[in-house]
Amino acid sequence: MKQVAQQNRRGTVSVMRVPPPALRPGFVLVRTRWSVISAGTERASVSSRQSSLLDRARKNPDLVAKVLEQMRQYGLSATMRRVRGRLESWSAMGYSSAGTVVAVGDGVEGVRPGDAVACAGAGYASHAEYVIVPKNLCVRIPKGVDLADAAYAPIGSIALQGVRQAGPTLGETVVVIGLGLIGQITVQLLKADGCRVVGVDPDAAAVALAGESGADLALHRTRDDVKKVVQTLTEGRGADAVVITAATPSDDPVRLAGELCRERGRVVLVGDVGLHLPRGPYYMKELDFRFSRSYGPGRYDTTYEEHGHDYPAGFVRWTENRNMQEFLRLIKSGRVDVARLTTHRFTVDQAPAAYALLAGKKGGARERSVGVLLEYPPEPSTELGSDAVVAVSAAPAADVAGAMSVGFVGAGSFAQSSLLPPLQGYSGARLTTVCTANGMSAANVARMFGFAKATADPEEVFRAAEIGTVFIATRHNLHAPFVLRAIEQGKHVFVEKPLALNESELQQIVAALSKARKKQPVKLMVGFNRRFAPLVSEMKQFLRTAVGPSVMNYRISAGYLPASHWTRDPVEGGGRIVGEVCHFVDLMQFLCGSAPVSVFATPLGTGVESPADDDSVIATVRFANGSIGTITYAANGDSAVPKEYLEVFTTGRSAVLNNFRTLTLYQQGRSRTLKKATIDKGHREEVNRFLSAVQSGGEAPIPFAEIVAATRATFRMQESLRLSVPREVTP
């Protein structure tokens, strides 16, 4: 399908052919008919990416600090590879569109195939022939509303939320500072609400358009005495409220708002402006300064947007979805007229020209634009199914077939930094197809790492006969289903931890692998990378001849994650014990050479009434050979503390591993320390070892029984945490 994208390094806008999105539960697949270019937001994005790297660094010192810290920990080459990959990739554009429903995922109610809908959300309602949108970011369009007008619904809901934050009542005087697209819509909404409206802008054409949109007064910021006119209009009281919809680094809009407001008036910020508030007017008038967040309540809440959990109307009357519904109703009633704001229409193929217009590059001078629409053909350029896999690499594929032909499912930031570089560097593998939930992302990864094809449909990887090995690095809830699908197809599998989220999934995998191995030697590997770290190999060798059980203390400074983070979601992430503590159980069983047999976990809390929580946990693990391991998983410490610290004590010798940078070995009263210039947790070695086993037909690098034992131990930890009793880890 066709999609509008911008190159991150140079800011170039292009129309690309990328795989269409694959439908998933809770989402709606839509064929786009119209989308709106948000002049303010998208012009700023284009301008930022077209600026020099030095300018961007100056404007984003926090990002520069993060890059420097990454360089300190992981080295120059790894950091530059990550930065270069980000800069050379392309980003989707757009967040406001309308089209026709093609299909709905499980759990979606209220819309059905054939319905006309408006769609919202950056990363969802992009400028693309097909989009998938969470059900709460998709609303049906009332009959009689033109699809081109309906495409404004998300942008209109931004203006509507700003008006709601201002809380105007019938007859109040409200000033709108900034008369771009959202400002013009705000003017119309306030008039529909029975207010006297004053529009202010430094652009004469915008001022004139505000008069056409219904403003009682439309004033030029510098040519008119704005303060005096507003004082006269309000008989000296000042405006009841000011809504700022401007986009400028200047503080002038907030200063002007303070001067225009009456005592105890309201100032609402919708746009993006300088925020050095002058104390004088804001303090003396006791002004109420409010922010307005995007489309309304629900925005940026993953439980609402991604998981589809609505807020009860009795408690949250106007969510972002209901705001969009109301805006469409206002269009239908004629109280809002967005058609008058449409100044340009381009076909999707002309998108670069549309962005050139916004940047003022058409004809060498800036041409006035307000509402800019992109039109998509009534029938798509290609059939949806025929475009599911897109060829990306023009270079001839390596002459490798069978098991060493690799597919990759789920290529997010972790996979791109830790798994894909060693996979790309393995000479015996052919990188065939990469799949991510977003077609643009899949195409980016394919170009970056040399995959021949890209897709957004994982089935295109699993059912491809040419692919013999699959890497899985999706979110955790998809690991077990995808592992089962790969095993079913007789493919070797590398899956990032965890292998499964519960006992039922684990048992299904054990049974499926046992059945598959009766026919062919399918290999399964879980990304327990730490046992492959160079310093861990030294540690293992040092402890190899030790006699008797070990005492192991493993401290992890995990860092805080909000409860809303996907890894802590019991359905999608499984929680931090299953999702990450499995690493540490596996490393301890590797070092002591014995399987875990029981666990006891205690949460951090203030007393017996504290709910069980896996964000900070102390767990004790007993192993079959008598070894004891203690895992202190702390999320409440300072971020400057190195993440991992492991001590091992056994008969006559001890070892201390500090964050995979230093290893100190103690024996016979002496010590020696091994050092690494950067952190190496074994990702490259684990990938190489797995591929080597696939290529040679040898045994998988980690015995499957150890993978099962470490995984099952984390399930028992969760039970122990919940029940406050030790739990046995049965084979």
Question: Is the CB of residue 256 less than 8 Å from the CB of residue 198?
Answer: no
Question: Is the CB of residue 554 less than 8 Å from the CB of residue 652?
Answer: no
Question: Is the CB of residue 323 less than 8 Å from the CB of residue 161?
Answer: yes
The predicted structure's pLDDT at residue 405: 95
Domain stop point among 526, 554, 574: 526
Q: Which amino acid is at 445?
A: V
CA 152 – CA 104 distance, rounded (Å): 22
Could you read off the pLDDT of 655-678 as tens digits, one per residue?
999 999 999 999 999 999 999 999
CA 687 – CA 698 distance, rounded (Å): 15
The predicted structure's pLDDT at residue 378: 85
Residue 620: count other Cβ atoms within 10 Å of its Cβ. Answer: 16
Could you read off the pLDDT of 519-532 as tens digits, one per residue?
888 999 999 999 99
At residue 57, does pLDDT exceed 80? no
Domain stop point among 509, 526, 543: 526
At residue 112, does pLDDT exceed 90? yes
pTM of the complete model: 0.88
The CATH code of the domain that includes 711 is 3.30.360.10
Query: At residue 118, what are phi and psi to the nearest 5 degrees?
Result: -105, 140
Question: Is the CB of residue 498 less than 8 Å from the CB of residue 475?
Answer: no
Q: Classify 725 as helix, strand or coil.
A: coil
User: Confidence band (pLDDT; 50, 70, 90) for 221?
Assistant: very high
Give whole-number Cα distances, 714 to 270, 469, 497, 512, 653, in Å.
46, 27, 12, 21, 29
CA 482 – CA 385 distance, rounded (Å): 21
Burial label for 244, CB within 10 Å (0-12, 13-18, 19+), is buried
387: Cβ–Cβ under 8 A, 6 or more apart, which residues? 1, 17, 19, 20
280 with 194, same domain: the answer is: yes
The CATH code of the domain that includes 17 is 3.90.180.10
- How does the average pLDDT of the chain come out, rounded? 91
280 with 359, same domain: the answer is: no
Question: Is the CB of residue 384 less than 8 Å from the CB of residue 437?
Answer: no
125 with 229, same domain: the answer is: no
323 with 436, same domain: the answer is: no
CA 59 – CA 49 distance, rounded (Å): 12
In a domain, 555, yes or no: yes
H helix or E strand, kind and range, residue 227 = helix 226-233
CA 337 – CA 34 distance, rounded (Å): 17
Residue 69: count other Cβ atoms within 10 Å of its Cβ. Answer: 11
In a domain, 692, yes or no: no
Question: Is the CB of residue 630 less than 8 Å from the CB of residue 583?
Answer: no
245 with 340, same domain: the answer is: no
> Can you tell me the mean pLDDT for 325-348?
97
Could you read off the pLDDT of 232-248 as tens digits, one per residue?
999 999 999 999 999 99
Domain coverage including residue 433: 387-526
The CATH code of the domain that includes 430 is 3.40.50.720
521 with 658, same domain: the answer is: no
535 with 680, same domain: the answer is: yes
Could you read off the pLDDT of 390-400 as tens digits, one per residue?
888 655 445 55
CA 268 – CA 289 distance, rounded (Å): 6
CA 2 – CA 391 distance, rounded (Å): 14
Question: Is the CB of residue 122 less than 8 Å from the CB of residue 304?
Answer: no
183 with 316, same domain: the answer is: no
Beta strand segments in 613-712, E: 617-623, 628-634, 644-650, 653-658, 662-667, 670-675
516 with 572, same domain: the answer is: no
306 with 270, same domain: the answer is: no
**Size of the chain in residues:** 731
CA 499 – CA 511 distance, rounded (Å): 14
In a domain, 218, yes or no: yes
Q: How many domains does the chain have?
A: 4
**Positive or negative torsion for Cα 155, 156, 161, 167:** positive
204 with 129, same domain: the answer is: no
109 with 145, same domain: the answer is: yes
